[in-house]
Structure 1
């Protein structure tokens, strides 16, 4: 001990360890990021806590700090006008987050770690320091509530407990702020989802309206389809269903098998999915139910009875079939038949033809 009461260097206590283990510090920094505090604007709640701490301990300076990876961020700084951050020098705030208990340094000049801190050696000349860690529910120490004085002093145990309570109040405010941020994010996500759904509905409405302009056109019942393939390179037909019955591929009698009408399933479905399952059928002249099975049988008979499956001949045959129904079609009927000559070795299809016919339902009596 020196004559003035100052302990000799060899009598000073060992300084606290430089920092936590790298894995523990990485998890602590993740918690700091979770609460999204550094570089945020001033908050009245934290300013009031810092001012209350200064009054309780009768100190000129009190702060609420968040310890980031490479700096100490002052969320509130009573008595430090214009100061927002400082480096992570050991001895004060950085040492205070190494333990769950409050850190009290009556005289920084007698503490081996604190006496080298910039706040002690710099213009502030801090001699007294006390801090309580701000600890999350899962044990991560985000920062401190601390009080500083330019003269050495001691505090009573009940004052230390009050400092711990102030740190707990800061943690409560951080949790409330985090909950509000999460609610805000959820609300924004819901708004984005609603906006996207509204845009999608508008696009769907516009698309449906464009089709309804098409169907109401004065020439809608007299339009025809023209197929113009390039015989030099062949052609491919892509069809998509929109609630229409299936397409049938007719094949005449061949050496390897009889004539047949093969059903070809199309992609797509009923208009905007209103009717996921629908049975499309009518009644023949004998009163029997005429559905896709009956149509397939009729087309197979046509393929077996005709050596050349011309598009026009198929349309004529189906039109004649419709004429045998007792009351005619109950809805509008559209027939489309496409035919192409088979490919011979070394040659492309010689020709292709297409024909359509449309009819409207018979008017009911009295209309």
Structure 2
């Protein structure tokens, strides 16, 4: 089966889903998430693996949908094909964007809208399909967490509940990442504005050196010399250190080394493994 991401024309008899009423706000949030086109499958693969365990389905995938396409955060298509995205008109998931409730289809061949989709009519010939919306706290559906099989299926209530919990956990991760990214952007903008007012000739490399010193990262002495001229850094000791002025700037902009270490730790432990495995009990 050809599954090129640049295929945009649906089969003649496959009808596109109506746009959600909140489509503009929904797609804006999708773009704001910052994950479209960012290949981080290792971060999200556990959700796909857990979805397969919960449902016993051979296929599972998760992704966000913008105006034009579905970008897969992680996927296991059972070796049938390997794509990073799919044109939105070709997707099943476009039909799951209009509701915050799961869309579970025991037999796609009998569904009036989805039975003509290429995923059903041609290899891999999916029969069962379940989509669990990734819903933000304010009710925007960013994408889906899905499972599929080649035979009809009925999901038990505990499986549906487990999948909903898994989808909610994924949304929480995406939300925390987005909030952290927004906070960092705001913090950096304020820091850049401060230095622009106080040191208009500051170069980006010098700002990077200041941030490196704040975070305990390796330093470029060439740029630290300039910061020392402004009494932001002292080079008197064995290692560069922030002066009183430098520490004041650091504190005012929330740039303590502990903050950087905490952010790194949160990225590495953002998924509570025990809680996820509890979903299949």
- Please indicate the TM-score interval, normalised by the length of the shorter structure: 0.5 to 0.7
Q: What stretches of structure 1 of length at least 5 have no aligned partner?
A: 1-14, 203-367
8 Å Cα contact 2:108-2:120 kept in structure 1: yes
1:53 aligns with 2:55: no
Give CA deviations for 1:201-223 in whole Å, capped at 9, x if unaligned.
89xxxxxxxxxxxxxxxxxxxxx
User: Shift of the alpha carbon at 1:186?
Assistant: 2.5
CA contact (8 A) 1:53 1:163 kept: yes
Aligned-partner Cα distance in 2 for 1:72–1:188: 31
Structure 1 residue 136: Cα displacement:
0.9
CA 1:91–1:43 in 2, change beyond 3 Å: closer, same or farther? closer
Corresponding residue for residue 65 of structure 2: 67
Determine the C-alpha separation between the residues in 2 that align with 1:201 and 1:75: 41
Are residue 31 (structure 1) and residue 29 (structure 2) matched? yes
TM-score, normalised relative to structure 2: 0.61
Give the Cα separation in 1 of the matches to 2:105 and 2:201. 66
Distance of 1:43 and 1:183 partners within structure 2:
24
User: Is 1:129 aligned to residue 129 of structure 2?
Assistant: yes
With structure 1 as the length reference, what TM-score do the two structures score? 0.47
Q: How does 1:319-358 map to 2 (within 5 A)?
A: none
Where does the alignment leave 5 or more consecutive residues of structure 2 unmatched? 1-13, 203-281
Question: 1:72, 1:170 → 2: CA distance?
Answer: 16
> CA 1:88–1:17 in structure 2 vs 1: closer, same or farther (change >3 Å)?
closer
| Stretches of 4+ aligned residues off by more than 6 angstroms | none
State the 1:16 CA deviation: 9.6
Q: Is the 8 A contact 1:90 1:114 kept in 2?
A: no
Paired residue secondary structure (1:173)? helix
Distance 1:180 1:43, change over 3 A: farther
> Is 1:192 aligned with 2:161?
no
5 Å matches for 1:280-319?
none
- CA–CA separation in structure 2 for the residues paired with 1:118 and 1:37: 27
Q: Which residue of 2 aligns with 1:99?
A: 99
For residues 125 and 201 of structure 1, the distance between their equivalents in structure 2, rounded to whole angstroms, comes to 62
- Larger RCO of the pair (alpha carbons < 8 Å, separation 6+): 2
Structure showing the higher helix proportion among its residues: 2
Aligned to 1:306: none
